[in-house]
Structure 1
Amino acid sequence: MTARPRIDDQQRRARLATRHLLAPAHRADSPEQVVEALVALHATDPATVFLSTTARLASPEPAELDRALYQDRTLLRMHGMRHTLFVVPAELAPALYASTTRKVAEKERRGLLAFAAEGGFDADWLAEVQRRTLAALATAGQATGSQLGNLVPELRESITVAVGKPYEARQAVGVRLLRVLGMENEIVRGRPVGGWTSGQHRWEVRAPLPDVPQAEAQAELVRRWLTAFGPATTEDIRWWTGWGVREVRAAVAGCAAVAVDLDCGPGHALPDDLAPLPEPAPWAALLPSLDPTPMGWQQRDWYLPAAHRAELVDRSGNIGPTVWWNGRVVGGWAQHPDGHLRWEALEPLPGEAAAAIDAEADRLTGWLGGTRVTPRFRTPLERRLGS
């Protein structure tokens, strides 16, 4: 019996350095190259998109990401894996929608209908409000949710949810409807109101996506993910996609992945990705909260020591700002109120590591200028360093 290929943790870290564009020699020239390399950038916190991109660009400019998102539309914000908002390459949108978002959107649509019924509004009423909303948005070109509420007053209707419970609240129809229309790809988030850290976006009508069979779309998404994040375990793929185990197994087979042995157990890799990569030169990186690299795998011991997690991960599992040295998380960082970055190592580091990390902190401080960034999901070390 032929032994399965083995890819150890050191090789996984070498792949991470080059394929995630973190080693300086491998940095990208454009935001599109960054997102293509990583498949998707977490966009729940708007600042993450810019900071994740900046860490991987040779010459980062905020205007370039703005161009890609809002002028050329080569990058697109949309809901994807695990009900989360991402920025993805525009050409990936059909496969992402068919593989993942459509199922979530169908569930959200059922929830929206039930929500409307609680307020005494039937499906016909909701359909008419939706029709008028899309027509108003097409005429306006772009509008915030508040502006759409002025154009279609029914969007401002509010309904009480969780009646009698401690978290009872009133929610506007417009908030729920716009979220569902975004998931259904009827509308898309456009330019934000304010600067690049703003979470309030204008909405725009979106052209329909080409239809892709679900199985084909899932195989394509896993193929792209293994190109960027492989080798990986079944549990890693299942966690990242949010799919069931049967869907993951079918997608792994559909992209012709092969079985490999990892230091943590059995895994998968693409058949043309079995040869070892050369070790990159020593490198350091400062990655933001929710960056796709530290959030990329469920099994993280090979790059994130368990002893560091209490300081770097919040109670919901969100990873805060991280400091990297040669493919491992070795500490965290935060922006001080005076604008400078402060970092702290969680383990002893050689002098060359501290010097390289200081250089990255100075690089990011200079890029931020006077902009103040506070992560939406704060972790213990970030809170301490940022005060």
Structure 2
Amino acid sequence: MGARTMTWEQASARRLARSGLAPPAPAEGAAGAGSGRRTGSAVERDAAGGSAGVRELPDGTPAAVLRALCGAQAQVLSAAELSVGMRIAGATRADVRRALWDDRTVVKTFGPRGTVHLLPAADLPLWTGALGALPAGSGNGGGTLGLLTPDQADAVVAAAADALADAELTVDELTDAIAERAGSWAADPVMEAFQSTWPRWRAATALASHRGALCFGPNRGRKVTYTSPQRWLPGFAPAPPDAALGALVRRYLHAYGPATPQDFARWLAAPAGWARDLFAAQAKADAIEPVELAGVPSWVVAGDTAVPAAPAEQARGVRLLPYFDAYAIACRPRELLFPGQAYERALAGGQAGNFPVLLVDGEAAGVWHQRRSGRRIAVTVEPLDRLPTARRRALEGEVERLGEIMEGRAELTVGPVTVGPHA
């Protein structure tokens, strides 16, 4: 018997629901939610952690949303706050900040592609176990940009772990601490960055994070700080690499499958051949199974082949995705998620995340931009096609919700977005 088939419409409806872009999850403790609700099916439990031993999380919390998304990219922290907040009914950015800096159920660190992410603190062993096992040269995390030898990289990681064991240090303070422990070469200003030069050790920042040596601490004024993940998760240690990588494959496929090994490799910025071998090992262990998505041989978690009964109805809706939203970055094929003119307008050279995206019925249908002044948030939305009256009303509701999440007063203008990517 051949692999099961799945249409783009069916896959899109599944992904929207699992990425929290169907009706938002109730906040923890809200009517019908219950602080004790947990993921239910065996497929969901396996995708959440499987043999990596990740504990379950209450629904309707920032940590649970981040687990479902496989993290939220956060070099623009306000965008990550919006990504998470829009997926929890009644939540605001304050709830995300509280989870991060007060409750410490969320951690800010370096995730897939070596980029800054918000991740559930409970999942940090899984993430570091998996990302720390990436091949050399994978994204920013598996390599050191040619500025450090392997021995020097190891010395930087060890020095950072020691210096941050019970401290929150600014970049300058950590530079001094690493140079004192590893050698003055670590502080050499040789790394080109933002029309400046950074000390050599910073080429291994993401690598140190992936090995569990550092994560972000609270800002000190306008200065970034780093600290030890032990302070977020006492007893923390990276999970065994094989178990962690297998769990990460299954979690990714649960959220964004059906997907190919190449899709997974692009999401991680890892070699395609390495990803094919990893998928082959998971298939041999009967942890994943093949399906065909829109004519492309792909994979899902074993037993996870159910499709929505009415996918077109379940995918209906208007959403505003901020910069680097996980749905826009992880879902493929790109040409189906960004159909027609959207491929040119809403992507930057084929790269997702650089423009905030207007999502209509699960597909990119325009771009948008926000500009804040005090509590006023001016939101400009540029649809690629005319919005019918019902869609316009839905967009107005989405903009109002954006204002609530960001603790401001949002005002909508429908018209051209004149700024470029990252504006």
Asked if these proteins are the same fold (TM beyond 0.5), I'd say yes
Question: Which moved further from structure 2: 272-281 or 41-50?
Answer: 272-281
AA of the residue aligned to 1:145: V
Q: Is the 8 A contact 1:232 1:269 kept in 2?
A: yes
Structure-2 separation of matches of 1:262 and 1:351: 33
Structure-1 separation of matches of 2:156 and 2:93: 40
Say whether residues 1:202 and 2:232 are aligned partners. no
Deviations 1:204-240 (A, max 9, x none): 1233743533332211101111111122233222222
Normalising by structure 2, we get a TM-score of 0.73
Q: Is the 8 A contact 2:190 2:200 kept in 1?
A: no
* Residues 210 and 177 of structure 1, relative CA distance in 2, 3 Å threshold: closer
Say whether residues 1:224 and 2:260 are aligned partners. no
Q: Is the 8 A contact 1:335 1:385 kept in 2?
A: no
- 2:393 is aligned, of 355, 361, 384, to 355
Tell me the secondary structure at the aligned position of residue 337 of structure 2: coil
CA shift at 1:294, angstroms?
0.6
Partner of 2:3: 4
- 1:145 is aligned, of 156, 162, 171, to 171
Tell me the secondary structure at the aligned position of residue 218 of structure 1: helix
AA of the residue aligned to 2:226: W
Question: Which moved further from structure 2: 151-160 or 170-179?
Answer: 151-160
Deviations 1:141-181 (A, max 9, x none): 3222234457778689433468xxxx996432464465553
- What is the aligned-residue RMSD (CA, Å)? 3.6
CA shift at 1:91, angstroms?
3.0
Structure-2 separation of matches of 1:302 and 1:232: 13
CA shift at 1:371, angstroms?
9.5
Normalising by structure 1, we get a TM-score of 0.79
CA shift at 1:314, angstroms?
2.0
Question: Equivalences for 1:1-387 in 2 at 5 Å?
Answer: 2-24=1-23, 26=25, 29-103=60-134, 107-108=143-144, 111-113=147-149, 127=155, 131=159, 137-138=164-165, 141-148=167-174, 157-160=187-190, 170-173=197-200, 175-176=202-203, 180-193=207-220, 200-207=223-230, 209-243=236-270, 244=274, 245-254=276-285, 256-279=287-310, 280=314, 282-315=316-349, 317-319=351-353, 320-336=355-371, 339-369=377-407, 381=417, 383=419
How many residues align structurally? Answer: 361
* Residues 35 and 136 of structure 1, relative CA distance in 2, 3 Å threshold: closer
CA shift at 1:315, angstroms?
3.7
Structure-2 separation of matches of 1:256 and 1:130: 35
CA shift at 1:350, angstroms?
2.6
Structure-2 separation of matches of 1:386 and 1:161: 23
AA of the residue aligned to 1:250: A
Q: Is the 8 A contact 1:21 1:56 kept in 2?
A: yes
Q: Is the 8 A contact 2:259 2:332 kept in 1?
A: no
Q: Is the 8 A contact 1:109 1:180 kept in 2?
A: no
Q: Is the 8 A contact 2:13 2:315 kept in 1?
A: no
* Residues 192 and 255 of structure 1, relative CA distance in 2, 3 Å threshold: farther
Q: Is the 8 A contact 1:215 1:251 kept in 2?
A: no
Question: Which moved further from structure 2: 273-282 or 169-178?
Answer: 169-178
Q: Is the 8 A contact 1:342 1:386 kept in 2?
A: no
Structure-1 separation of matches of 2:157 and 2:18: 46
CA shift at 1:102, angstroms?
4.0
Q: Is the 8 A contact 1:158 1:173 kept in 2?
A: yes
Structure-2 separation of matches of 1:382 and 1:56: 28
CA shift at 1:382, angstroms?
6.2
Structure-2 separation of matches of 1:57 and 1:329: 22
Question: Which moved further from structure 2: 174-183 or 203-212?
Answer: 174-183
Tell me the secondary structure at the aligned position of residue 24 of structure 1: coil
CA shift at 1:355, angstroms?
1.2
* Residues 8 and 71 of structure 1, relative CA distance in 2, 3 Å threshold: same
Structure-2 separation of matches of 1:178 and 1:386: 23
* Residues 106 and 275 of structure 1, relative CA distance in 2, 3 Å threshold: closer
Question: Which moved further from structure 2: 311-320 or 30-39?
Answer: 311-320
Structure-1 separation of matches of 2:149 and 2:333: 38
Structure-2 separation of matches of 1:257 and 1:370: 44
Structure-1 separation of matches of 2:108 and 2:99: 11
Tell me the secondary structure at the aligned position of residue 104 of structure 2: coil
* Residues 307 and 128 of structure 1, relative CA distance in 2, 3 Å threshold: closer
* Residues 212 and 385 of structure 1, relative CA distance in 2, 3 Å threshold: closer
Gaps of 5+ in 1: 115-121, 373-379
Deviations 1:304-350 (A, max 9, x none): 21421222122471421011122111111111465221111112333
* Residues 355 and 147 of structure 1, relative CA distance in 2, 3 Å threshold: same
CA shift at 1:271, angstroms?
2.9
* Residues 109 and 304 of structure 1, relative CA distance in 2, 3 Å threshold: closer
Structure-1 separation of matches of 2:94 and 2:284: 41
Structure-2 separation of matches of 1:382 and 1:333: 10
AA of the residue aligned to 2:148: L
Tell me the secondary structure at the aligned position of residue 349 of structure 1: coil
Q: Is the 8 A contact 2:13 2:308 kept in 1?
A: yes
CA shift at 1:20, angstroms?
1.1
Q: Is the 8 A contact 2:126 2:244 kept in 1?
A: yes
CA shift at 1:136, angstroms?
5.2
